[in-house]
Amino acid sequence: MTLRFLIVMPTYNEVDNIQAIVPRILALPHGFEVLVVDDNSPDGTADAVRKMAESTDRIHLLERPGKMGLGSAYIAGFRWALEKGYDVIFEMDADFSHDPSALPGFVDVIGDNDIVLGSRYLHGVTVVNWPLKRLILSYGANAYVRLMTGLPLMDATGGFKAFRREALEAIDLGSIRSDGYSFQVEMTFQLRRRGFRVREIPIVFADRRVGISKMSRKIIWEAIWMVWRLALSRVFGRPEQTGPLARGGSAPRDPEYQEAVRSLRQAHGNFSARMAGPDDVRPELQDHGDAR
């Protein structure tokens, strides 16, 4: 079994970032493919992606007519990925807040898990260059999410994640309405309730390098309200459990998957023990793999 990995990367006005980050991802030895979901960015992001895609079949572009929000961009990307048969589907920002060299660390643990979350708050605080105000807001939001939803996670609002296709298939994607940070919380909450295995791994998160922030009051209010909705749904209603941990069971062994991950590790090394900053371009990752 050879696992097929797809990174879903929503963009809105990321023309500079996208041209820099996609080559970094393709240079990793795991054969990652990238789907850019662009909302008709006025700065020509889609044209830049089309140009890059001329020289490889590992870059894909999904264009939407206008800015429709981050949550719905992910859903569109997930649907595309499921249709095309990818095994592991990632969420990742284009603005270098998420370091491409952290991707193999997600692969290392996907053999025993269904959702892997890149966490900014697992080993202390691993956020670089954020104003203190924003850090307090984000850290506080996560404490609020833990308290209200019971999710035992340090960083449920982050957007650097990997899902196995089986997990995405178990969710009615059409029923997910939230955007921004609450989208992240809602997806993880719904999957955990259905008995899927969630694992956090530490990442270094850096503030965006260039471009414009889309942080808004609306997104914050939506998150506050969404968490209430999830808390209420814990009390009323129980979804059908279909995941590996359904009804308190223990996860079944998954030999094919584990074997696939093991052989990747053998070929490319075990990345999860390492953490690198976003500027740390490691030469061994640049040459398609068989360096070791």
Smallest gap from residue 244 Cβ to ligand GTP (A):
30
Segment contacting Mg ion (CB under 5 A): 10-18, 27-35, 89-97, 252-260?
Answer: 89-97
Of residues 11, 97, 119, 142, which one binds Mg ion by CB under 5 A? 97
Stretch that binds ligand GTP, among 6-14, 81-89, 117-125, 261-269 (CB under 6 A): 6-14
- The minimum distance between CB 70 and ligand GTP, in angstroms, equals 4
CA distance 223 to 218: 9
Number of chain residues interacting with ligand GTP (CB under 6 A): 20
In the complex with Mg ion, which residue's Cβ is closer, 8 or 261? 8
Scanning 4-12, 145-153, 258-266, 270-278 for contacts with ligand GTP by CB under 6 A, the matching segment is 4-12
C-alpha span between 28 and 31 (Å, rounded): 7
- Contact map string, positions 75 to 114, toward ligand GTP, x by CB under 6 A: ------------------xxx-x-----------------
CA distance 128 to 149: 28
Of 177, 166, 158, 154, nearest to 72 by C-alpha is 177
Distant-in-sequence, close-in-space partners of 235: CB < 8 Å, separation ≥ 6:
none
Please spell the DSSP secondary structure of 146-168, one letter per residue. HHHH----S-SS---EEEEHHHH
| Span between the terminal Cα atoms of the chain, in Å | 22
Quote the tokens at residue 81.
């990925």
Q: Nearest distance from residue 13's CB to ligand GTP, in Å? A: 7
Under the binding rule (CB under 5 A), the answer on residue 214 touching Mg ion is no
Strands across the sheet containing 198-202: 59-63, 33-38, 5-11, 88-91, 161-164, 115-119, 198-202
Q: Applying CB under 5 A, which of residues 208, 209, 229, 265 lies at the interface with Mg ion?
A: 208
**Rounded Cα–Cα distance for residues 196 and 190 (Å):** 9
Number of separate helices (H) and strands (E) present in the chain: 10, 9
Residue 67 as a binder of Mg ion (CB under 5 A): the answer is: no
| Binding map of ligand GTP across residues 190-229, x = CB under 6 A, - = no contact | ------------------x----xxx--------------
The DSSP secondary structure of 2-67, one letter per residue, reads ---EEEEEEESS-HHHHHHHHHHHHTSTT--EEEEEE---TT-HHHHHHHHHTT-SSEEEEE-SS-
Binding piece for ligand GTP, criterion CB under 6 A, among 69-77, 137-145, 146-154, 264-272: 69-77
Does position 10 interact with ligand GTP (CB under 6 A)? The reply is: yes
Could you say whether residue 187 binds ligand GTP (CB under 6 A)?
Answer: no
Nearer to ligand GTP, 94 or 148 (CB): 94
Name which of Mg ion, ligand GTP, none residue 119 binds, using a CB cut-off of 5 to 8 Å depending on partner kind. Answer: none
73 binds ligand GTP (CB under 6 A): yes
Q: Report helix, strand or coil for 199.
A: strand
Contacts to ligand GTP by CB under 6 A: 10-12, 14, 37-39, 67-70, 73, 93-95, 97, 208, 213-215
Contacts to Mg ion by CB under 5 A: 93, 95, 97, 208
